[in-house]
Structure 1
């Protein structure tokens, strides 16, 4: 069943344009910025991406470090300009082998350290509120 919108806009100057402008106002600031890469250090391997929402109220972190149980010194850095504004610093993720792992973020330095109960990759995806 098709809906005919023309009668809705009859007699309404710039009706479709006004609706689009209002829709754009509603969505303003709710879009995410580009995906960026965190900085791996000490031989950290895996995927380490994050993106900040355009209104700077949230960051989404998607990390997949590998081999952490046998190499606990592998670390990654997020920009301290983000971590200093985070409201949460401890995260739990699922490992490839069905176990769990954790990530702790140092808010001052941006340093992310990992622990795991097995040597698979730890999948951590978290949306974090920023202050």
Structure 2
């Protein structure tokens, strides 16, 4: 979809270019920092990444721990610089086998614990507001 801003900003110096530039920043993902890796605990398998928005108001958590039903000791750790500022600590995810699982984050330690109703991986993706 294309938006023609010319009639709106007719006669305004660089008006169209400035608006288009702001749209391009959003579309190119410049509002988010680089993807970073959380720290898996001993024996924990899966993928654990997060991104912090450049204004430090939100974090996107994308985790995929595996084998949680038979290995409830598997955990991951987010930096406490993030978890002490999180406004939500409980998350629901979907398992590979169509079930569900949960993740709970300890805000003080950054420890993420998981539970699943089957032994597939739990896919958890959540945008969390920070205080």
Q: Same fold (TM over 0.5)?
A: yes
Note the residue ranges of structure 2 that are not aligned, 5 or more in a row: none
Unaligned runs of 5+ residues in structure 1 are: none
Cα-to-partner distance string for 1:10-41 (whole Å, 9 max, x where unaligned): 7x363xx333335556868x711111110101
Partners in 2 of 1:64 and 1:94 — Cα distance? Answer: 10
- Give me the TM-score of the superposition, normalised by structure 1: 0.83
- Whether the 8 Å CA contact 2:77–2:110 is kept in 1: the answer is yes
Aligned to 1:52: 52
Q: Please, what TM-score do these two structures have when normalized by structure 2?
A: 0.83
- Aligned-pair distance for 1:8? 7.7
* Cα distance, 1:18–1:101 mapped onto 2, change above 3 Å: same
Alpha-carbon deviations, 1:49-96, whole Å to 9, x = none? Answer: 100111111111000000001111111000100000000000010111
Q: Measured at CA, do residues 9 and 123 of structure 1 come closer, stay the same or move farther in structure 2, by a change above 3 Å? A: closer
User: 2:43 is matched with which residue?
Assistant: 43
Q: Distance in 1 between matches of 2:122 and 2:89?
A: 16
Give the root-mean-square deviation of aligned CA atoms: 2.8
**Which structure is larger by alpha-carbon Rg, 1 or 2?**
1
SS of residue paired to 1:20:
helix
